[in-house]
Structure 1
């Protein structure tokens, strides 16, 4: 069996040792090198040709983000960030994902060694997923993610919260969600989003999106009325659900057990949309590993919703969309840059459809 070759880059000797122990305990992966800083990592990358690089967020000698940016431009490879759970750490991690890191794992807050050892399964799974990610080279002067084709104008501008966009994503989803939302017009239907992400990072992600998009984006608090031109992101500690209150749609948070090993879970959001919105919703499933969302999206389809999936070529990991497509839950499959236009064109064509409860 060919093992996944991992290079560890971290300025903490303790973290390097614990990560090495975790990785080498797995039958399908091995550590081929450890580096205390990006400068040492450059030579080791050439020597070991790793399949995955784990990279500390804040590094000495060279800023970790500067190193990542150069790496993704000159020698693109799968990178898993190892982040501290702080406000500054979460903001830097969001930037790292923008620069091309596949995913991240957090360092434990308290007893580092025992905490990291408890994370063995999570770290191993993240490395496996990262090793299978589709990495694209970033070139200077390339068009930014938001510079995609303009949306077709709406024939029937939407001014009601009756229509909804329901989005689910996982690995690679932070950039995919950004690229999707940044194309939406300010008067688009309300948007609910579940992205697999731990507590402490979802607020930074929502704040970053809010600064970039025409629509308003916030971390859902629960009990909010879902409004046009607004997006509500599931917080890392709770499932996000859509509920009805009279004629209005509302958000609800639930701290029940994980579903498909995730909280927040895409299936929970999609199931609630099927029950509460039915044919007034459009479901969108984006890049991610696993099957979370496939069953809920099928329920949405049976309830009359129109569903789209991101195509394989534009996904970082073609797992969740693949499962949804295979289950028969989707109506259409398209590249990421086309999905917002297709959603809005669908609403323009069906904008006068009466709500049925």
Structure 2
């Protein structure tokens, strides 16, 4: 179901989606109130929900749509403004599956093509939630003694469904652990959104959170969030480790890319890196997980049952690269286990 007050935007979305095999548009609505009147009868698997609408906007309609159609995946769409970034993150906290940034101008052909591609890709990804997996990978946690070194850095990667998962993870990590570890997070997000996300994460984690800046030294007690549209990696100079933020080509069509962070973490920290891969579509992080595993560093991935999309963590689990496959609420305790179970550097 497509919900947008703009008739032009709805017509464009309907034309795009009608050309996609396996996707059927069962309803369209110009406001949240109309969508509520239609949702039970239309029974959509996915709702594409615009934020800025008269009468009843997307933020107001979201919880009512989720209540009226339990299990539906909602993708919120909005233009890239700070206000809409704030609202989109609020929607994710309320239960939206993900967001898709709208191009600011319909005259920009490249931006429209990117929006179409991302919209279709995310519809297909979130529509697959709850399907029976082809390969069942049982949860597991290796013995703490398997860690060769006590972690000296925590690197985290996430995509679809990630903002909510990242915030939950850091709300559960004890301050005593965060004070001992520098942390770098790659969350697939556009510019503007990452700055707002860092502010929200700071309020939850109870420690300093900031967007990564090139040349900045990493230090315990600080969470660095990769800025939207830029890669963030790590480099060692002497005894210190610094952030390397740059505009290199996209990796797995992603920038920032989890692979860039993980591969540099493996090179800089070796077995003393600790990696976590949370919910997300695609395979970003897989090549980096290979580098980490080859260096002897543990990789923890979120399990399928608690992931919005089990693409990124699933790819790593299926290759046998995950030291632990755990539900979201089991990951913070596992980090504590690795912190206490490894040998000193």
- In the superposition, the TM-score normalised over structure 1's length comes to 0.86
CA contact (8 A) 1:14 1:113 kept: no
| 1:60-71 matches, cutoff 5 A | 60-71=54-65
Q: 1:122 to 1:162 in 2, by over 3 A?
A: closer
Which residue is 1:259 aligned to? 251
Separation in 2, partners of 1:73, 1:14 = 29
Separation in 1, partners of 2:54, 2:295 = 54
Q: CA deviation at 1:75?
A: 2.4
**Farther-moved stretch of structure 1 (318-327 vs 110-119):** 110-119
CA contact (8 A) 2:151 2:338 kept: no
Separation in 2, partners of 1:113, 1:191 = 37
Which residue is 1:104 aligned to? 99
CA contact (8 A) 1:170 1:289 kept: yes
Separation in 1, partners of 2:125, 2:78 = 17
CA RMSD, Structure 1 to Structure 2 (Å):
1.8
Which residue is 1:10 aligned to? 4
Q: CA deviation at 1:134?
A: 4.7
1:313 alignment partner, SS class? coil
CA contact (8 A) 1:54 1:79 kept: yes
CA contact (8 A) 2:40 2:69 kept: no
CA contact (8 A) 1:84 1:106 kept: yes
2:329 alignment partner, SS class? helix
Q: Does 1:177 align with 2:166?
A: yes
| 1:334-353 matches, cutoff 5 A | 334-350=326-342, 353=344
CA contact (8 A) 1:170 1:288 kept: yes
Separation in 2, partners of 1:215, 1:330 = 28
Separation in 2, partners of 1:26, 1:162 = 46
Which residue is 2:225 aligned to? 233
Separation in 2, partners of 1:260, 1:229 = 30
Which residue is 1:85 aligned to? 80
Q: 1:113 to 1:248 in 2, by over 3 A?
A: closer
1:182 alignment partner, SS class? helix
Q: What residue ranges of structure 2 are gaps of 5+ in the alignment? A: 132-149
- Map Cα deviations across residues 48-76 of structure 1 (whole Å, 9 max, x no partner): 11111000112221232121122223423
Q: How many residues align?
A: 322
> Which of 94, 100, 112 does residue 89 from structure 2 map onto?
94
1:31 alignment partner, SS class? coil
| 1:141-180 matches, cutoff 5 A | 163-180=152-169
Q: Does 1:128 align with 2:117?
A: no
Which residue is 1:138 aligned to? none
> Which of 213, 218, 222 does residue 214 from structure 2 map onto?
222
Q: CA deviation at 1:110?
A: 2.1
1:267 alignment partner, SS class? helix
